[in-house]
Chain A
């Protein structure tokens, strides 16, 4: 949110001080595609902030230490993703505004449903949490993939680079969740008594 955190991220991302803003190209009057792009950006901005709020709940609900740690790591990443999006808004010369993302709200709600339906401390709960978390990841992967492509179409390469960094991190998280599920959790859940 703060100016300083955005700057910090921008410095981390590119060593050079040359920061392009697209105010001349995009500022005053947006094309239809540009306004569609910034609408989608507002959506995912809301979604990331929503995830930052939801992840601690998932972390507390998880059974295995490995899954708890995966959620914790992703919480930190998601905070960075929020900052990157703020930087993208800044590059576009726009205010960082969040617009409610119904899809992400629904996906998170489903995850909460799983916590309600499963018993604490069981491997089955972890299976459910991983299923839910992968839905979140895959939603983000398709969103960032689409946004990065739109940004490239619009000639916003700096913005596209930022989006791609986040995209890569989401993909890694997804792989990690798959590994955890395949390695232990499903097996343990299939052998546990109700």
Chain B
């Protein structure tokens, strides 16, 4: 935890406008108390994301079990560990904002994992089609998370919370990494003859 908090000290608090966009959103006069409704929205999205990451910690092991190819199993298992760390980073953000750590059900993420379970139900164990289906569902989850983190980072920046944005950026980078790896797997998979 302390490792993450130290990020705050690193973040630049310079009020010097870097470009048009940042100068607009960085006006400290506005950023202090006039932004409570945007901050409410931010915290609400954060609670959603926190629920989603926790949900994925439960969902990924099912995907590991259902996958056939050893490299896919490994990739998913690795991402499970990364996801657990995302949960911790989000907890750290709640602390930075002096907010209670609360999860709010994220219907979107629930729907995504239900769709993923359907894919497992509709395909046969050990087939390439099953693996392709798992990769496609996992990519949808990753892309959902990427969108969520990008949005959160944008709002955090508008709220002049570089420290929070930095933590979110670390989660985002790891989601992008996972998405790239899955994309690579799905493309190399298409060379093979489908089962």
Contacts and interface: CB of A to CB of B under 8 A. Distances in A.
Interface of A: 31-33, 36, 39-40, 43, 101-107, 109-110, 113-114, 117-119, 122, 124, 127-128, 130-131, 134-135, 137-139, 141-143, 146, 149-150, 152-154, 181-182, 186-187, 189-194
A149 B186 contact: yes
Contacts of A32: 123-124, 127, 129, 194-195
Nearest to A110: B108
Name the residue in A154, A182, A189 with the highest tally of chain B Cβ atoms < 10 Å from its Cβ.
A189
B126 to A, nearest CB: 12
A106 B40 contact: no
Name the residue in A36, A137, A154, A190 with the highest tally of chain B Cβ atoms < 10 Å from its Cβ.
A190
Given A110-B108, A189-B158, A190-B31, A127 B129 contact: no
A141 B142 CA distance: 12
Given A102-B111, A124-B37, 7 more contacts: A32-B127, A36-B133, A117-B44, A134-B147, A182-B21, A192-B38, A194-B40
B193 to A, nearest CB: 9
A139 B155 contact: no
Interface string B8-40: 000000000000010011010011001111101
B61 interface: no
B114 interface: yes
Name the residue in A119, A127, A181 with the highest tally of chain B Cβ atoms < 10 Å from its Cβ.
A127
A190 B30 contact: yes
Contact of A36 (B110, B123, B143, B144): B123
B41 interface: yes
Interface of B: 21, 24-25, 27, 30-31, 34-38, 40-41, 44-45, 48, 106-112, 114-115, 118-119, 122-124, 127-129, 132-133, 136, 139-140, 143-144, 146-148, 150-151, 154-155, 157-160, 186-187, 190, 194-195
13 contacts: A31-B194, A39-B122, A105-B111, A106-B111, A127-B155, A128-B41, A135-B148, A138-B146, A143-B140, A149-B190, A186-B158, A190-B160, A194-B37
Contacts of B30: 190-191
B132 A36 contact: yes
B21 to A, nearest CB: 6
Given A153-B190, A192-B34, A138 B147 contact: yes
A126 to B, nearest CB: 10
A118 B144 contact: no
Contacts of A101: 111, 115
A32 to B, nearest CB: 4
A177 B160 CA distance: 21
Nearest to B191: A153
Name the residue in B25, B160, B187 with the highest tally of chain A Cβ atoms < 10 Å from its Cβ.
B25
A191 B39 CA distance: 11
Name the residue in B31, B34, B107, B150 with the highest tally of chain A Cβ atoms < 10 Å from its Cβ.
B107
Given A33-B132, A153-B194, A106 B109 contact: yes
B195 A138 contact: no
Given A32-B129, A33-B132, A127 B38 contact: yes
